Amino acid sequence: MNPAVEREPAREVVELRVPSTAEWVALIRLATAAVANRLKFSIEDIEDVKLAVAEACTAVIQHESHGEFIEVTCEVGADALHLRVHDAGRHVPRAETDRTMDYDEARVAGLGVFLIRTLMDEVTYDVHPELGTDLRMVKRLPGHPG
């Protein structure tokens, strides 16, 4: 017989795909708050999550090469909320004259990455010229270190 396989608890996943316009950011904030509430975050932590996801979405919308849709994925883990904000818009590299920051860092900095990093426990991103921007954030429950 096969030995018992230890499995991780199943994660609950909520996916939103909304038009890349400012009118839909409020829906994303509300949905994200509802998911965060399932983990019993404090009101302050829920507000942090809402602000971080709204900042990411708003900046994507303001970027001139954003895609038609923003995809937001909320994944509920046992001790953390995992968020992914994806924009499939293509971008053209900035002129070689502005070299104060790496282009990818500058693009994500436009997403308010410094604010997002302050509000969330983990933030990673990938900017791909063909596939768009993928920003991942994690907010852990208090008492659950990374």
In this structure, the strands spanning 132-140 and 69-76 are unpaired
Question: Is residue 9 classed as helix, strand or coil in its secondary structure?
Answer: coil
Instruction: Measure the CA–CA gap between 26 and 29, rounded to whole angstroms.
Output: 5
pTM for this structure?
Answer: 0.77
| 3 or 76: which leads in pLDDT | 76
* Alpha helix (H) residue ranges in the chain: 25-38, 43-62, 103-109, 113-119
DSSP for residue 85:
E
Q: Maximum CA pair distance of the chain?
A: 65
Which tokens in the block code for residue 50? 């809402």
Give the burial string for 36-58 (b: 16+ CB within 10 Å, else e). beebebeeebbebbbbbbbbbbb
Higher-pLDDT residue of 106 and 124 is 124
pLDDT digits (tens, 9 = 90+) for 66-115: 678 999 999 999 899 999 999 877 655 555 434 444 555 555 555 577 89
Q: Tokens standing for 118?
A: 């302050």
- The tally of CA atoms less than 13 A away on the side-chain side of residue 101 is 8
Q: What is the crossing angle of helices 43-62 and 25-38, to 10°?
A: 150
CATH of domain 20-140: 3.30.565.10
